[in-house]
Structure 1
C-alpha cells in the first residue's frame, strides 16, 4: 500500500527522519506525556491519531506502565509507520510490567485515516486523544479537529501538537555562501507549506488559530503550553545525521523557492566527500519549540 496521503507526501519514505526526530525530542516530549497522563483516570485509554513512528506513544506507554497501566491505540494511514509505531510502543510497554501484571499496557494498532468519517467508530472512546502535526495535512482542518474531538469520551482530554517555533540547527555564517542560509530555507519551507495546503484536494482555509479551532469544535477548558527542544552544540551523536537528513529534505521539497546560489550552498553542505560537509561540523545544535493545544470534551 502506498505511503502517500492527502498532502501527496510519501511518509513511509521519511521513516528514518521521523525516528531521528523522535529521539531528539524525547526529553521534551516525555515531560509532555507525563503532564497529559497525570490527570487521567486509572487504566485510561489513549488514542494516538497519526502516530507516525510511535515516539509519543512510547512515552505514553512508559508513563502508563509506571502507574496503573492502560490501553494505547495507534492510528495511522501509512502501514510502514503503523508497524514501526507498534514496535516502539510495545517495546516501551514491556519495560514496566510488574510480575503481578500491574502497569500492563495494551497496545492496539488501527490502520485508519483521520479524514474517514467512520474513524470514531473504528477506535474506542478515549480518555486522551493525541494528534501531533497531522491535522494541518488534512483538507478541512476545522472538520479534522472536530473528528479528533469525537474520539474523546465525555470529559476526555484532546491534545493537538501544532505550530510552535521552527527548529534551527545551523550557525548564521557557515563559511560558504551568504550568511543567514537557514533563515532563507525556513522562509522557503513556509512557501512550500502554502503550496502544499493549496495542492490538497478540497482544501478549506482556517483563518484563525488552533485554540479557536478547539473552541469551535465544542471543547471546553481550552488552553495551550509549550515544550522546548534544545540540544546545544555539539549535541548528541545522532544530531549530525539528523541535520544532514533535515537539510536534504528541505532541499527536496522547498528547494524550488531558493536562489541558485543558495541551492549551490546547500548542495555543497550535503556533499559527504567535500571539505564543507555539514555532518562533519562540531557547531551544530537543535533549538525549537512545540505547542500543545488542549481542550476537554463536555
Structure 2
C-alpha cells in the first residue's frame, strides 16, 4: 500500500517538524545531538549509553497494534500537513481503525524499534 519508503519519509518529516519547533524556542541553537557532550557541557559526568531493542514480529498482538495505531494517528495529526498527498492518504488508511488496510487488521504488521538512553551523574565540588 502506498509508495515504498514511507517510514523514511515519515522519519524525515518528524525530524523537520522537531527542528522547526526547536527553532521557535528562545535562544535556540541548532546542534548535532551528541548527548554525552551536551551532558558534560551541562556540568554532569557522562556515565554510560545503552540501547534497548524491541522486536515484535508479525503477527502482532492487539496491544501492540493499538500502540501502533495511536502512534500513526499522532504522526498524522502532527506531520500530516508536511507529507505528499499520497503519503498522507497511506498514513490515513493505516491509522483507520475501521478498514482491513488499517494497522489493526493487517497480518503483516510488525514492530521494530531501538531506544537509546544516555546517563550522567552530578559531581558536587567541595
TM-score (norm 1): 0.38
1:239 aligns with 2:29: no
Q: 1:207 aligns with which of 31, 41, 46?
A: 31
Give the 3-state SS of the residue equivalent to 1:292 in structure 2: strand
Give the 3-state SS of the residue equivalent to 1:273 in structure 2: coil
Distance 2:110 2:62 in 1: 11
- In the TM superposition, what is the alpha-carbon distance from 1:277 to its structure 2 partner? 2.0
Tell me if the contact between 1:222 and 1:296 (Cα under 8 Å) persists in the aligned partners.
yes
- In the TM superposition, what is the alpha-carbon distance from 1:203 to its structure 2 partner? 4.2
Instruction: Extract unaligned runs of 5+ from structure 1.
Output: 1-175
Aligned pairs for 1:113-192 within 5 A: 176-192=1-17
Structure with larger RCO (C-alpha < 8 A, sep 6+): 2
1:193-218 deviations in Å (ceiling 9; x for gaps): 11111233x14225241100111122
- Structure 2 CA distance for partners of 1:272 and 1:185, relative to 1, 3 Å: same
Give the 3-state SS of the residue equivalent to 1:290 in structure 2: strand
**Over aligned residue pairs, what C-alpha RMSD do you find?**
1.9
Aligned pairs for 1:21-170 within 5 A: none
Q: Which runs of 4+ in 1 moved over 6 A?
A: none
Tell me if the contact between 2:56 and 2:112 (Cα under 8 Å) persists in the aligned partners.
yes
Instruction: Determine the structure 2 residue equivalent to 1:220.
Output: 45
1:70-93 deviations in Å (ceiling 9; x for gaps): xxxxxxxxxxxxxxxxxxxxxxxx
TM-score (norm 2): 0.83
Figure out how many residues of one structure are paired with residues of the other and give that number. Answer: 122
Instruction: Determine the structure 2 residue equivalent to 1:268.
Output: 93
